[in-house]
Amino acid sequence: MAKPNFPQRLKIVTVDDSPIITQRLKSILTDMENVEFLGTASNAVSALSLIHKQGPNVVILDIHLAEDMSQFNGIDLLIALRKRYPQMKIIMLTNLSDPQYRTRCFAFGANYFFDKSNDFDRIPEALEEIALQGK
């Protein structure tokens, strides 16, 4: 895979409860130039802590998370992140690809919405777009 040369360094945190997805994302991110993988969280509480400590400018976020309390899922985390970090770019990456989820995520401030089953190859392209926007 060719390493795109981004004008802006992206610092990325992933939030997903699947070890397979997390490893796949880490592999994609570590192969890209000007991308710093800061870590991963599997639930909303650890995600907020990691994001606060590491200060990423991009978060890749799933809707369903481990230890998901019915009142705090990935969409709730999206809302909290958008309020606290309005400049952060948020990529939703989920198996819940029904139009209602896509609509809600965009309404609450997601920058991208990708289906885990079909859109993994779009992540580097989205990151390149984000980097170019920030130059």
Q: Where are the domains of the chain?
A: 10-133
Domain 10-133 in this protein, CATH class: alpha beta
Whole-angstrom Cα distance, residue 123 to residue 135?
Answer: 19
Using pLDDT thresholds of 50, 70 and 90, give the confidence band for residue 1.
very low
pTM of the predicted structure, to 2 decimals: 0.90
pLDDT given for residue 133 in this prediction: 84
Q: Is the Cα torsion angle 68, 73, 76, 77 positive or negative in sign?
A: positive
Tell me the average pLDDT across 1-7: 50
Q: How does pLDDT run across 36-93, given as a tens digit for each residue?
A: 999 999 998 899 999 999 999 999 999 988 765 556 789 999 999 999 999 999 999 9
Please give the structure tokens belonging to residue 32: 């890209």
Q: Are 33 and 5 in contact (CB under 8 A)?
A: yes
Tell me the average pLDDT across 128-135: 83
Q: Is the pLDDT of residue 119 over 60?
A: yes
Closest CA to 73 of 92, 52, 50: 92
Whole-angstrom Cα distance, residue 8 to residue 133?
Answer: 9
Cα separations (Å) of 96 from 2, 31, 65?
Answer: 30, 27, 12
Q: Which residues pair with 100 in a beta bridge?
A: none
Using pLDDT thresholds of 50, 70 and 90, give the confidence band for residue 9.
confident
Q: Is the pLDDT of residue 6 over 80?
A: no
pLDDT given for residue 23 in this prediction: 95
